[in-house]
Structure 1
Amino acid sequence: MESQFSSPYQKPSESYNKEMATQKAEELNNAVRFGSIETVRKLLEEGTDVNSKVKGGWTPLHSAIQKDMGELVQFLLDKGADPHAKKDNGATPFIIAGITGNVSLLKLFLEKGSDINEYDNNGFTAFMEAAWHGKEEALRFLYDNGADVNLGRVTDEEKKALNKGGATALMDAAKQGHVAIVEALVKEMEADVNTCDNWGRNALVHALSVTEPRRWGEGNETIALFLLNNGADVNKKDEHGKTTLILAAERESQRLVEAILERNEVDIDDADRNNKTALMVAVEKTNCEISKVLCEEGARTDIGNLLEIANSNYNTELTELLCKYCKPQNLSQPKTQWTPSSKHWRSKLQDLHGRYRPMIGKLKVFHYQDFRIKRTSQGGVYLGFYDGKEVAVKIFYVGAENAVREKTCLEKCHTSNNLVKLCGWEEQKTCLYVCLSLCEKNLEEYFQMADNTAMESKDVLKTIFLAVKELHSFGFGHQDLHPSNILIDVTGKIFLADFDKSREVAEDNRGDAIISEDLQALGHLVLYVAMKGKVSFEALPMECPEEVDNCMEVEDLRTSLGTPDKNNRVSGQLDRLIYHPYFWDKKTRYRVLRDVGNESDIKTRNTKYHKNTSEILEALNHEGDPFKGWHDQIEKMVWESMGPFRDKVNKKPEKNKQRYEDCVTGLLKLIRDMGEHFDEKDEELKNKIGNPADYFLTHFPNLTLYVYRSLCNTHYNKHFPNAQ
């Protein structure tokens, strides 16, 4: 055989070495899988990497655990195998041990530093794997060692956006039909039967959602009945919008259909995304017993062509049953043209408008992810129609504390201008449906848009301030101010929403604390909006970055919201800060500077001699005056052109007129005088200055804030907007 090398001294190529390493890795992994410890020993002695990987990222250690060979596992660890190595899907040796249910190996890897709740790329923990595969002894061991029973599968944002993840060990055991494990999880380990995955499915839905008919059996039915008896919510749906009643009809379990109906909580006529009700499913499956139960409980028979379906299956018994309960169907009316007001939700609203949905009083809604606006801890927010008007429907459990707070707050604030409107509400079984005016997006979503320049940050914040002030005036604190709770409607108007954590403001110290908490959160919103959402609300910097427009004013406003004002009550703090200089326009800023400069002590007194006898001179010209040297920041001809003035009759300089001092009051005096006499100046100076307001505000952008901070707690604040 011809040598692969041109000479006996030539080194093997890199590709050859890589190929040989791959071959040795496969040999080692195969030896482990066949349990040949001698071959494993020989390959390792020849230098094969004990942590080498084959397809899928399997190491010899992973394979040894899968084969449940404890002796070989220990041998590999002694030879340097990594106890925390991960497969391509992120599974560690500890998680694989959860699949096999080997308690000794689970204990071994915990001793070597494995995290009891570590998870792979799909969010599976060892505890979940033990539940999925029915390994009860391993499940109990992991529980005793601190496994999180109600942990949902953790997934990345991309998977979460597709509603993947969130399933718990209880859901896994229920889906796989492991009765003993489900009972142990609920009765002994206090698993929550109503925790939902990212699709909004609870354990009951998982128990009913077995996809292959051959896998549905007595165990699944027993589990579903057990979960029902332990308080499982019957109003949850699967990813296709099927209710638990529809799923029970699909499984053809009369016991479950009857048990669900006995709860008297589910809408018997609710339909899935294909507009099929439980009765339609039962008829399609030619199940006379379930069809009879549903008909006797009042299921509508005028939805779908039930008789036609029964006749096509030549089922005389079912046809006779339906004839007994069926009502003559009305001829369908021609669909009317309808255009939603909303642009963002238009296609979904049109879809919902054309669907059959059982009415809940005046409300038409489909509790299904295609029509979901937002997730919540209870039932989510969905598109709907209330009395024919498109609305956002927020779903709560009847009597829940947050439901009471939301409804009470909205009802008492119904005359507000800047809070989202309550359009109405309905109750059905265990659910409260709060119907709100529909908006297009929230503030987070707005800033994520490519074109987010339509609204000025100042205008956005001014509206939010007014909304919070309005809420406080109605006697409530919000307690959950966040960009996701600031909504924007189709016209671009901003509203404050989500009052399920609101608190009534009592006339005591706690009332001030509630308002203070809102002001703290409002300070974070100031920074978030000023930065145009470029940093998430949860990761904002400690101070306003210098590159942000009007950063000093933004920082002063933010700090003022979070710092109690010893001169004023906290309940009036927001009233004052709504008129903070950050919100002033150019005209207002210039007018304030001129009016302050027009104070007699500034116009006529010399700071050097009169500071200690003049309140305004002392307030403005304190130590560390940042405007010393202001002459050097503007052209000499500007301030020289303003003095000394000449007597209009004798054309001589007026006596006792001082030049502009090198302090802030000297600058304010110049601004006042320039405003009064600008029209008298020559064209050269006018061309140099242009607009006096633009000129001085550009050269001294922080002067307005300085004057405001110096005079806000003096009677000279009479020059500020909304002076009290």
Structure 2
Amino acid sequence: MEPTAHSQQEASTPSSRETAEDLAFKLNAAVRNRNRKDVLELLEKGADVNSKAESGWTPLQSAVQADDEDLVRLLLDKGACPLARKDNGGTAFTEAAIVGNVNILKLLLDHGLNINDHDDNGFTAFMEAACYGKEEALKFLYSKGANVNLRRAVSEEKAKLHKGGATALMDASRKHHFSVVKILVQEMGADVNICDNKDRNALIHALKEGCAKERYESAVFIGHFLLNCGIDVNSKDECGKSALILAVEMQSPDLVKALLEKGEIDIDDADEEGNTALKVAVEKNDYNIAKLLCEKGARTDVGNLIAVVNRNRAHNMACLLREYNAKFVPETFKDWEPNSKCWRDQLKNLYKIYRPMIGKLKTFQYIQQRIQNTSQGGIYLGLHGGTEVAVRISRSTEGDKEKRFFEQCGKCEHLLKLFQFEKARGYMYLCFPLWEKNLEEHLQEPEDQMDYKDALRMIFQAVRELHFLGFAHQDLHPTNFFIDLRGKIYLADFDNKRKLIEGKKELINSDLEALSRLVLYVLTGGRKPLQQVSTKDLAADSPDYEEALDLVSSLVSHDERGLEDLSKHPYFWSKQTRFKFLKSIWNKIKDLCKRKAVFKAANATESFPYPRWTEKIDKYVLKIMENPRKGITLKYSNDVTDLLRLIRNLDEHPDTRISNRIGDHAEYFLKLFPALTIYVYNSLRQNPKYSNFADIQDPSL
């Protein structure tokens, strides 16, 4: 009996999950073995062309890795997905770049691949081609629009660990593909001075692994080439080692000489353990390099050099060092405790290690001493004459401009001030009083409690002070506000985005809008990113909710009062000041023949929020107020003026029966009528005839 079509279909369909996985395993194995016949048979049996083997490899990716164009075409024709990713996010396209097969790259690009697509570690096909030295693939990808200077994109968690950020040039330099390095720079315009997230440029990558015998020669070639291309010789690795120290570790006198001839390098710079280039040369007993460094003026009074040569039994080296005045002097450190709590450990390390002094400044421009990233470079810890400081390092020309600006901030209470400065070798070192955290970091720490109202007072004053100096900030981000040990907030502009106002109101308006977002960010405790927070995130049960909404609205609408008057907004008033304000209004309007006219202007656009207030108030309290023990019987209407009258009468003529019932008067009324203060305030302010009634000063401001 012939099998039916249905039974044939059942025979070719996997009978269980185990069978499907078995077929997938066999398919991947057949692809890796480049066995076209087995691949076709397995696909006929129902093997999934997009099934995944160990680590998420698909048959297509395995075919690419096997460098088999025919199999790649076959699998694509059978429905293989070119966009499928391995467990690490890699695709067939990045594999093709590693293999260096231009035909496969073309084929995959024709299937809609993004030229700059990257895996979970940020590697693009272009980076992989550079890393594996595949010149033809590199040139092809460049011709198709690959971004030469793209930095490795990684997750936020990895970025916090300073991973990622490398470029194709760094990959080629690290793997010592000299010809690829030349192509990237000379033909493709690669930027030699880009740094990765550990502040390392291509020169550091080239020299870092140059000690190995098989890599030494290419590392030297790449080093010389990059130096001739004008690369920054002051970049350091993650351990604080400069290019000079790495060249000494490689024991390359040619590179050491070339670096010193640049004239930009600090010969006495040291790594995180206090090792200078000379000390490294002495430890390696490299007489020629040590002699070269001594001749160029390297200090011999740091690092206990004589003790090192004595351990090495290096008599000739000892003679050389003594010729240049080296002496054995044991180092001792007194016990020292920094003021800063946040930066305590880093400051203690800075205090203990050797660093060449820059005037009165001791600082270390490497990642473990960096406290803030900016678009203009990092901010680093420092000790200036023993005082803990934050250090901004820039070229002298730019540094002079920055210095002039920060000197203008000297008399401002909440703008970051310049403490001291130093100049050396074409660089300006601006020193600022050290802060503990920026506003974003402070809000992210659950143990750091903040008085939001007090914080916003300082923030408003900082922006007012900057506007008074004639500048609009244009980047009012939480990371630009710094908090010191006492909780005082300062505003800075290390990214140089400020602009001269010069009558341009749109610049001030832009700052006001940014300030409105910042208000919401602070009041919501920084739970959402600055650009995502909205009024919906405010806690509606907050006693300042209505005032906060109005303050944000006033900032967004570019209120004509400006920051000077908005800094006196009811949001900033204390509870007692708000209640005192409500009490005072009746005294001001009681003798007016048309009391209701006081609130008429506002009523046209904003209605009284409590049109039936007599039903909200405690009935017992209202009864007592309408029938006082002494005086005339009163009848209170639902009008706002009568509510203000009741508040005034109740507080001016206290009754123990009421106090025992409702407790604190201010607490009771502000909680019962939370929108009353801002309604009365805005009603008066918007009525030209009575706007002066809204003028009130909170002593706490």
Q: Do both proteins adopt the same fold according to a TM-score greater than 0.5, normalized to the shorter chain?
A: yes
The one-letter code of the counterpart of 1:631 is T
Letter in 2 for 1:618: K
- 1:80 equivalent to 2:69? Answer no
Which of 683, 686, 689 is the aligned partner of 1:710? 683
Aligned residue in 2 for 1:345 = 343
Q: Is the 8 A contact 2:364 2:380 kept in 1?
A: yes
Residues 322, 15 of structure 1: alpha-carbon distance in 2 compared, 3 angstrom cutoff: farther
Distance 1:217 1:350, change over 3 A: closer
1:292, 1:584 → 2: CA distance? 71
Instruction: Output the amino acid matched with 1:635.
Output: D
Deviation at 1:499, TM superposition (A): 4.3
- Give the residue type in structure 2 aligned to 1:391: V
Q: Which moved more, 1:362-371 or 1:467-476?
A: 467-476
* Alignment match, 1:64: 63
Could you tell me whether the CA contact under 8 Å between 2:523 and 2:538 is conserved in 1? Answer: no
Q: Which residue of 2 aligns with 1:660?
A: 636
1:696 counterpart letter in structure 2: F
Partner of 1:628: 611
* Counterpart residue number, 2:583: 594
| Kept in 1: contact 2:24–2:48 (CA 8 A) | yes
**Does the CA-based 8 Å contact 2:304-2:330 persist in structure 1?**
no
Change in Cα spacing, 1:111 to 1:240, as seen in structure 2 (3 Å) is same
Percent identity (aligned)? 48
Paired position in structure 1 for 2:382: 384
Alignment pair present for 1:478 and 2:473:
yes
What does the per-residue CA deviation read over 1:586-635, in whole Å, with 9 as the maximum and x for residues that have no partner? 111111111112123x456466xxx5xx4x24235546332211111113
1:432 aligns with 2:425: no
Query: Aligned pair in 2 of structure 1 residues 179, 159: CA closer, same or farther (>3 Å)?
Result: same
Q: What is the SS of the residue equivalent to 2:237?
A: coil
* Match 1:619 to one of 601, 613, 619: 601
Task: Give the deviation of 1:313 after TM superposition.
Answer: 4.3
Structure 1 residue 136: deviation in Å? 1.3
Residue 560 (str. 1) matches residue 558 (str. 2): no
Counterparts in 2 of 1:395-406, with a 5 A limit? Answer: 395-400=393-398, 403-404=399-400, 406=402
**What secondary structure is seen at the aligned counterpart in 2 of 1:537?**
coil
Change (3 A) 1:22 1:212: farther
The CA distance in 1 between the partners of 2:365 and 2:557, in whole Å, is 44
Q: In structure 2, what is the equivalent of residue 721 of structure 1?
A: 696
**Contact map agreement 2:210 2:219 (CA 8 A) in 1:** no
| Within-5 A mapping of 1:40-55 | 40-55=39-54
Let me know the Cα RMSD of the aligned residues: 2.5
CA distance in structure 2 between the aligned counterparts of 1:284 and 1:676, rounded to whole angstroms: 86
Deviation at 1:687, TM superposition (A): 2.2
Q: Is contact 1:32–1:64 with CA below 8 Å preserved after alignment?
A: yes
Alignment deviations for residues 351-377 of structure 1 (CA, whole Å, 9 cap, x no partner): 211111110111101122222212233
Pair 1:701-2:700 in alignment: no
Aligned counterpart in structure 2 of residue 523 of structure 1, from 512, 516, 519: 516
More deviation, 371-380/496-505? 496-505
**Secondary structure in 2 matching 1:495:** strand
2: CA distance, partners of 1:60 / 1:364: 58
Contact map agreement 1:480 1:501 (CA 8 A) in 2: no
What is the CA distance between 1:329 and its match in structure 2?
4.0
Tell me by how many angstroms 1:314 deviates: 5.0
For 1:336 and 1:173, locate their aligned partners in 2 and report how far apart those are by CA, in whole Å. 46
1:523-542 mapped onto 2 (5 Å cutoff): 523-541=516-534
Partner amino acid, structure 1, of 2:678:
L
Structure 2 gaps of 5+ residues are 1-9
Aligned partners of 1:188, 1:509: CA distance in 2, in Å?
47
Distance 1:604 1:376 in 2: 59
Spell out, residue by residue over 1:661-716, the C-alpha distance to the aligned partner (whole angstroms, 9 max, x if none). 322122112222222222xx3x4333223332222212111111011111224343
Q: Distance in 1 between matches of 2:169 and 2:535?
A: 42
Summarize the alignment of residues 28-427 of structure 1 with structure 2, pairs less than 5 Å apart. Answer: 28-210=27-209, 213-310=212-309, 312-313=311-312, 315-332=314-331, 334-400=332-398, 403-404=399-400, 406-427=402-423
Other structure's SS at 1:662 match:
coil
Secondary structure class of the residue paired with 1:114: coil
Q: CA offsets, 1:77-120, max 9 Å, x none?
A: 11121111111211100110111111111111111111111111
Report the alpha carbon displacement of residue 642 of structure 1 after superposing the two structures with TM. Answer: 3.6
The one-letter code matched in structure 2 to 1:533 is: G
Secondary structure of the residue aligned to 1:361 is coil
* Aligned equivalents of 2:361, 2:39: Cα separation in 1: 69
Worse overlay, 316-325 or 338-347: 316-325
Q: Number of residue pairs matched?
A: 684
Q: Distance in 2 between matches of 1:366 and 1:548?
A: 49
Instruction: Report the counterpart of residue 445 of structure 2 in structure 1.
Output: 449
Residues 617, 174 of structure 1: CA spacing in aligned structure 2 closer, same or farther, 3 A cutoff? closer
Cα pair distance change 1:160/1:620, threshold 3 Å: closer
Aligned partners of 2:393 and 2:427 also within 8 Å: yes
Mapped to 1, the partners of 2:591 and 2:650 lie a distance apart of 13
Contact 1:426-1:434 at 8 Å conserved across structures: yes
Q: 1:317 to 1:595 in 2, by over 3 A?
A: same
Tell me what 1:7 maps to. Answer: none
Cα distance in 1, alignment partners of residues 446 and 31 from structure 2:
55
Q: Cα deviation per residue 1:425-466 (whole Å; 9 max; x = unaligned)?
A: 12222432221111111221222222243x221111111111
Q: Give the distance between the partners of 1:61 and 1:304, measured in 2 at CA.
A: 57
Question: What are the superposed Cα offsets for residues 633-668 of structure 1, whole Å, 9 maximum, x if unpaired?
Answer: 11334344444889x8xx7x48xxx73332212211
Q: Is the 8 A contact 1:382 1:394 kept in 2?
A: yes
Cα deviation, 1:516-542, whole Å, max 9, x if unaligned, reads: 222221111100111111112132126
Counterpart Cα distance in 2 of 1:505 and 1:158: 37
Write out per-residue CA displacement over residues 268-315 of structure 1, whole angstroms, 9 at most, x where no aligned residue. 111112211111112222222221221111001122233444455455
Moved more, 699-708 or 412-421: 412-421
The aligned counterpart of 1:672 is 648
| 1:59–1:503 Cα change, 3 Å | closer
Q: Matched residues in 2 for 1:582 and 1:180: separation?
A: 65
Please give the secondary structure, in 2, of the residue aligned with 1:89: coil
**Partners in 2 of 1:149 and 1:542 — Cα distance?**
42
Does structure 2 conserve the Cα–Cα contact (< 8 Å) formed by 1:65 and 1:96? yes
How has the CA–CA distance of structure 1 residues 339 and 676 changed in structure 2, closer, same or farther, with 3 Å as cutoff?
same
1:316 to partner: Cα distance: 4.9
Contact map agreement 2:267 2:277 (CA 8 A) in 1: yes
Between the aligned partners of 2:602 and 2:664, the Cα distance in structure 1 is 26
Aligned residue number for residue 7 of structure 2: none
> Structure 1's 15 and 340: CA in aligned 2 closer, same or farther, altered over 3 A?
farther
TM-score by length of 1: 0.89
Structure 1 residue runs without a partner (length 5+): 1-10
Deviations 1:235-263 (A, max 9, x none): 11011110011011111222221221122
CA separation in 2, counterparts of 1:636 and 1:521?
46
**Amino acid corresponding to residue 289 of structure 2 in structure 1:** I
Query: 1:635 and 1:134 mapped to 2: Cα distance?
Result: 83
Counterparts of 1:546 and 1:491 in 2: how far apart (Å)? 28
Cα 1:283–1:20 change in 2 (3 A) is same
TM-superposed deviation, 1:497: 2.7
The aligned runs of 1:537-548 (5 Å cut-off) are 537-541=530-534, 543=536, 545-547=538-540
Residue pair 2:370, 2:379 contacting (<8 A) in 1 also: yes
Match of 1:493 among 485, 488, 504: 488
